[in-house]
Amino acid sequence: MAKTKSKWVCQSCGYQNASYLGRCPECGQFGTFVEETVSVKIESSKPSNIISQCKISKIKEIELDEKIRFKTSINELNRVLGGGFVQGSLILLAGDPGIGKSTLVLQTTKSVCEQKLDDKNLKVLYICAEESPLQVKLRAKRLDVEPDSLYLTNQTCIDEVITQIESIKPDFLIVDSIQSVFCANIASSAGSVSQIRECTNVLMRIAKQKNITTIIIGHVTKEGNIAGPKVLEHMVDCVINFEGDKYKHYRILRCIKNRFGTISEVGVFKMEDDGLIEIASPAQMLLDEPQNAPGSAITATMEGSRVLLHEIQALVGSTNYTNPRRVAVGLEYNRLLQVLAVLEKKVGLNLSKQDVYVNVVGGIDIIEPSYDLALALAIISSIRDIPISNKTIIIGEVGLLGEIRYVDNIERRLKEAQKLGFKKAIIPKVSDKISKKISDINLEIKQVSKLTDAIIQGLKQD
Ligand code: TYD
Ligand code: MG
């Protein structure tokens, strides 16, 4: 028996209420409530064996069943997944529209289909809910991915998808995208929170029951959330974000949740005419031609176990407005404000009549705080109109007291800089042990403990 029930659901966070609310009490967004109708199945009687099925076990007595991992030929993807896809796991691949999610999964199917399980090639069912199979075929031809055991369907009704799964019995399932499939039981449109949640639930059940490795593609909203609900992130085993500037070539694959491995590694790709190309040593990729002009500073950040070099550019100019502008592209806005506050208080600059624009070249956001010092020096360099050499690498976090704080993996960052032909490094004070370790690196290393010392070193013209 089924009855229909209506509820109001916040499209931003999934909060539910019996009536309309102007502001969501959960996430604080305004005007996000939409009425959704669901039909609720009423079970005639509860299965009485539910309680008897649950048993308590000692942790030592639970037998480990080793999960099979499918390694792909894309090493950057294996690295992010912690060694390949775990059989029967549910993976969410999220990213902006047009970033290359469909391209990545399609390229992955090639090496998945070449693998064998019980002497048979793995079967992949690709639900192309956004495009027609013909469009996918055209792309596959261009990418030279046409394996025998890859099946396509453009079925968008999840109940029909299940019927197809039962007839084809795939080992891998790709749902492109979760915002375009729907469950017939729910009256709201595809892409709404209830639909996404229900469809993911159904897919999760089938993935675990039939041991099908499932990749769900999800678009990201303007605010940077996986469209609709955060709830999706809790349900899946693994969440991978595909990031980058879609008007530029470089892409970073970042794992933000992984039940079967670490989340510290990233994968780096370049989008070319013939698909995504892996970049095994990405250190220099974002540094095409670092400028030797005032306002530019180079820093090294860690992405997983690898070093990436970034050029930070700053432009400081006077303004006639009472509220000067602060613009940060590629790094955190609040960190910019913090560094500006330290520059005002500890270095004595007056920035109240100055606009400040900063940009990280390359279109990839920097997340860890080791770029603070390079940011501060780029700003000073722009104000004083004195360039910092493009052969100087600047690493360090700026504290509120104007002190330069230590960051991890200094040795690795310096070694990479040395390899790429840098001559000088400005770094925080390090322990004697690390000092010894970095002493044989062929760089003129300046350890600084205060922002003012770092400025003197950075702007010094050799
Ligand atoms: P796509 O995988 O469709 O993005 P998503 O599924 O995340 O929305 O790829 C989108 C862009 O990638 C598209 O604008 C064109 C570009 N592209 C290439 O540059 N080279 C290629 O070989 C392919 C397949 C796509
Ligand atoms: Mg797509």
Listed residue (102, 65, 53) closest to 215, CA to CA: 102
Torsions phi, psi of 460, nearest 5?
-65, 125
Res. 446: pLDDT tops 90:
yes
Scored b (16 or more CB within 10 A) or e, 14-35 reads: bbeeeeebeebebeeeeebbbe
Q: Quick one: pLDDT band at residue 52, thresholds 50, 70, 90?
A: low
The predicted pLDDT at position 191 comes to 81
Distance 246 CA to ligand 1 centre (A): 9
Q: How many CA atoms lie within 13 A of 261 on its CB side?
A: 25
Cβ atoms of 320 and 340 closer than 8 Å: no
Cβ atoms of 218 and 235 closer than 8 Å: no
The predicted pLDDT at position 389 comes to 92
Considering every ligand atom, which ligand is closest to the CA of 273?
1
Tens of pLDDT, residue by residue over 247-299, are 778 888 988 889 888 887 888 899 998 899 998 877 777 777 767 889 999 99
Q: At residue 102, what is the residue type?
A: S
∠ Cα 399 402 408 (to 5°) = 40
Integer-rounded Cα radius of gyration of the chain:
26
Instruction: Find out whether the peptide bond into 177 is cis, omega within 30 degrees of 0.
Output: yes
CATH number of 71-280: 3.40.50.300
Res. 227: pLDDT tops 60:
no
Q: Same CATH topology for 71-280 and 284-459?
A: no
Q: Quick one: pLDDT band at residue 232, thresholds 50, 70, 90?
A: confident
Give me the residue spans of the domains in the chain. 1-40, 71-280, 284-459
Tokens of 36: 């959704």
Res. 356: pLDDT tops 70:
yes
pTM of the model: 0.79
The residue that leads in pLDDT, 228 or 155, is: 155
Binding site membership of 271 for ligand 1 (Cβ less than 6 Å):
yes
Of 93, 102, 103, 139, the one to substitute when testing ligand 1's pocket (max ligand atoms within 8 A of C-beta) is 103
Binding site membership of 97 for ligand 1 (Cβ less than 6 Å):
yes
Tokens of 269: 């790709």
Question: Can you tell me the mean pLDDT for 71-85?
Answer: 90
Cα 352 to chain centroid, rounded: 35
The predicted pLDDT at position 5 comes to 74
Q: Quick one: pLDDT band at residue 225, thresholds 50, 70, 90?
A: low
For ligand 2, a single-atom ion, the residues with CB < 5 A are 102
Binding site membership of 105 for ligand 1 (Cβ less than 6 Å):
no
Res. 397: pLDDT tops 90:
yes
Please determine, looking at this structure, whether the domain spanning 284-459 carries the CATH number 3.30.230.10: yes
